[in-house]
């Protein structure tokens, strides 16, 4: 009998909308459907008040002021606005930017666009855990450096960068610091003042809120950050992001953060325990597995693991009904091995065999055990068909084998 049970373990790609968030959003989809920019009647005033409340809630979660929050369609737009907007606004100072090769494509691609337009990008090295060297960052900053963009938590491997230390280095050097906090907002402790963050991107759908809404924190004082807009028409959001506000989405985003902060420590601990349970099962029952990323400084919800001598895509096909990903969901149409793992020095064979598991507040222990059983069985089945696995068991160093060419 085929088991058709569905288990969702892909929370870095997106999370389920919390039903309590949907309840908060519903009135703004049905009765209170006004435009927050319509200031001549009750419908608009109700919408504006709801947006203001969400703005203050989200700002407080960052240690910021409501006026420093710019609403966007998601973290991809926020990253583009931060990077393109800051680079173009401050190009009089210089055209040098700093980032890392393990960033999300929503940071890498705008940087590459600027590179094609004449900006110079320094890509910092990362170690085998995906962490940067703070001394290399210090020495990379130049008089013409405008912006450093480094993510808080990595979407593929879960590694956390030391954001406070990075912020301190940038502040001391008089350089703007942008962080993509898409994976950490609402989950990890963030304070833009204490961490010297000037620009920060986040998204609703990674924290049990709706898709299609995000924010960009833009510092107003010490220093005041100004951005060249990338979207025009109407001058909404202090002129930085024109367009009718997504009122139901914004309301849901604010409520999602409230729920995250209600019992964050307990929720984080519970999810980390589920992740560790899965990791322990896989490591104890399978040989030739490698956990990717920093095992100390990492997201509570993330487990990225390589199963040597099988293809990640084959494994995914071998566990139907279990939602996981290989590489980043945004780039999974490509058959290239993960660029994040490559940057960390993981070989193509292991990079091709990596799977990302992501637990959430809705994940149960029973689901973890079921997924572990299915994954272990599928890996064993695939390895039975692998001559490379057989050779490895016999102690043959596959790197030393002279393969016969045609």
Catalytic residues: 330
Instruction: Give Dmax over CA atoms of the chain in angstroms.
Output: 79
Q: Positive or negative CA dihedral for 187, 191, 192, 196?
A: negative
Distance (Å, rounded) from C-alpha 89 to C-alpha 111? 15
Q: Quickly list DSSP for 160-228.
A: BP-HHHHHHHHHHHT-EEEEE-TTTTTTS---TTTTT-SEEEEEGGGTTS-SS-EEEEE--SSSPP---
- State residue 404 phi and psi, 5-degree precision: -75, 120
Percent helix, strand, coil in the chain, to 5, is 45, 15, 45
Report residue 149 as tokens. Answer: 């963009």
Distance, CA of 259 to CA of 289 (rounded, Å): 36
Neighbours of 376 (CB within 10 A): 16
Give the chain's end-to-end CA distance (angstroms, integer).
44
Specify the 3-state DSSP secondary structure of 70: strand
């Amino acid at each position: 009998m085929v088991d058709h049970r569905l288990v969702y373990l892909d929370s870095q790609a997106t999370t389920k909308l919390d039903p309590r968030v949907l309840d908060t959003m519903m009135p703004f989809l049905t009765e209170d459907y006004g435009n927050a920019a319509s200031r001549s009647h009750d419908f608009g005033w109700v919408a504006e008040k709801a947006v203001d409340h969400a703005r203050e809630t989200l700002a407080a979660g960052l240690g910021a002021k409501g006026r420093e929050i710019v609403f966007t369609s998601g973290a991809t737009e926020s990253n583009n606005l931060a990077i393109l907007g800051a680079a173009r606004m401050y190009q009089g100072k210089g055209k040098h930017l700093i980032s890392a090769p393990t960033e999300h494509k929503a940071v890498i691609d705008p940087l590459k666009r600027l590179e094609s337009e004449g900006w110079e990008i320094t890509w910092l090295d990362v170690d085998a855990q995906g962490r940067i060297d703070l001394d290399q960052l210090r020495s990379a900053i130049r008089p013409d450096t405008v912006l450093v963009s480094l993510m808080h938590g990595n979407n593929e491997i879960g590694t956390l960068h030391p954001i406070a230390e990075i912020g301190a280095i940038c502040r001391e050097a008089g350089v703007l610091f942008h962080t993509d906090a898409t994976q950490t907002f609402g989950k990890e402790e963030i304070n833009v003042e204490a961490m010297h963050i000037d620009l920060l991107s986040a998204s609703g759908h990674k924290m049990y809120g709706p898709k299609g809404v995000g924010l960009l924190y833009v510092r107003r004082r010490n220093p005041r950050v100004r951005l060249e807009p990338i979207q025009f028409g109407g001058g909404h959001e202090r002129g930085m992001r024109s367009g009718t506000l997504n009122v139901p989405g914004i309301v849901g985003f604010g409520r999602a953060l409230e729920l995250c902060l209600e019992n964050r420590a307990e929720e984080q601990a519970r999810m980390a325990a589920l992740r560790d349970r899965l990791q322990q099962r896989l490591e104890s029952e399978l040989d030739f597995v490698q956990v990717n990323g920093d095992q100390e400084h990492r997201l509570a919800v993330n487990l990225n693991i390589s199963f040597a001598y099988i293809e990640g895509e084959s494994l995914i096909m071998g566990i139907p009904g279990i939602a996981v990903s290989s590489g980043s969901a945004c780039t999974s149409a490509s058959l290239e091995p993960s660029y994040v793992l490559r940057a960390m020095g993981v070989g193509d064979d292991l990079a091709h065999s990596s799977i990302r598991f992501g637990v959430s507040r809705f994940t149960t222990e029973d689901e973890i055990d079921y997924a572990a059983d299915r994954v272990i069985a599928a890996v064993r089945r695939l390895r039975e068909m692998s001559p490379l696995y057989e050779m490895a068991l016999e102690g043959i160093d596959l790197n030393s084998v002279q393969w016969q060419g045609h």
